[in-house]
Amino acid sequence: MDARTVQDQGGLVRQPEVELGSSPPPMMYAGSFSEARISVKGYEIGGVPTKSVAPELDPFDLNLLEGVMSRTVSTAQPLSGRLQVKLSKVSSLRLSQAGFALPPQSVELTHDQILLILSGQLPMGVPIGY
């Protein structure tokens, strides 16, 4: 998995930074990863510009045979992890002026809500701008 693949399959305008780790390191060749972080700068969610959006994935295994056959990246199980969104000062100020309260420390999202955010849409029921 490389930045170009993530960019193409995610429909991203800018190429993301992709950091992968595997423990022990040779397991990477078998498609087993103990950590992954994908960072996209200048991403918009629901028309709100961000500084960056960075999913940090829990350990996962790639489905190498399916990936080779379909020429896509596929995992053996659903992905899970954390999603960090950093807003620019301008976006924070704009949202504050629009009446949004101070941001909470964390928001839990479902798998489908994360996919909506990564596609640039707002999931219903999630307080955006936080």
pLDDT in tens, 63-99: 888 878 888 778 888 888 888 888 777 777 777 777 7
Average pLDDT over residues 101-107: 54
Q: Is the pLDDT of residue 128 over 80?
A: no
Query: Does the CA dihedral 27-32-36-42 come out positive or negative?
Result: positive
Nearest to 52 by CA among 100, 17, 101: 17
Q: Is the pLDDT of residue 28 over 80?
A: yes
Q: Is the pLDDT of residue 130 over 50?
A: no
- Report the predicted TM-score, pTM, of the whole model to 2 decimal places: 0.62
